[in-house]
Amino acid sequence: MSINVMCVKVWMRGDDPAIIESDCAKYLKKRWKSSTKECVIGIDGREMDEGTGFSIDAYTSDRKKVGEFAAELFDAAYELRGEPKIYQVIIELFDEVWSESNRCTQDMEAIKKAYNEWLKVLAEKFKDHQRVKSIWEGQKKIIPVIDVGLSCELESERANKIFTYAFGVDLSHAEDLTKDLINILTRRGLVREVVGYELDNGKTEAYEIDDIDVVEDEVYVFLAQRSPSR
């Protein structure tokens, strides 16, 4: 298992983007050791049309490229639709090539199939819940509404690997945002092709009803994960 060496924020919301490259250089000059094998550049944000959260993680073993690459990824994130908000830019150092252990192996067809099956399992689980049963009457369609994450692994000539992650209330939102990110990164020459996808969904038993809404013959059941302490 890889040992994390150090993680630092090189930009936070409200900072001047011009500091990204210089702050990366200052930090790496102090912290990049002979044992350092890889650095991940992380961008975290949210697009505001649908409220879908996202991140971009680029892994490189070339210390000299980190600052310029971080600035490019920051600019790429701002090309997203919906006036995106970028929250932070981080760099994290590892003493192993950490990206080798990260894989996304599914295609989107398999992801959509797994997602739809998961929704069916959740609908079946909650159809007899007291709050649902009282309004369901066996005639309305139960539609679970639940946060879902979509990871995408990308091949790059500029990095060891690049991963995107989109997190929203529906797979279609996460898929649309992922497509936008892929197109932007490809156009900028940062990505060559898609390697695969992974669906990030929680354990079915970890969810509980947060809210319910009825629209004509459909019952929308909003689900949230229980707090670990409960």
Question: pLDDT tens digit string along 154-204?
Answer: 999 999 999 999 999 889 999 999 999 999 999 999 999 999 999 987 677
Q: Contact 41/115 with Cβ under 8 angstroms?
A: no
Quote the tokens at residue 131: 């709050």
Query: What are the backbone angles phi and psi of residue 90, rounded to the nearest 5°?
Result: -125, 155
**Three-class SS state of 101:** helix
Res 133: pLDDT: 84
Q: Residue type for 76, please?
A: A
Give me the count of residues in the chain: 230
Tokens of 22: 């210089």
* Intervals of the chain under pLDDT 70: 1-6, 202, 226-230
Q: What is the pLDDT of residue 230?
A: 38
How crowded is residue 131: how many other Cβ atoms within 10 Å of its Cβ? 13
Q: Are 179 and 187 in contact (CB under 8 A)?
A: no
Residues 58, 185: Cα–Cα separation, whole Å: 11
Q: pTM (2 decimals)?
A: 0.89
What pLDDT is stored for residue 2 in this prediction? 45
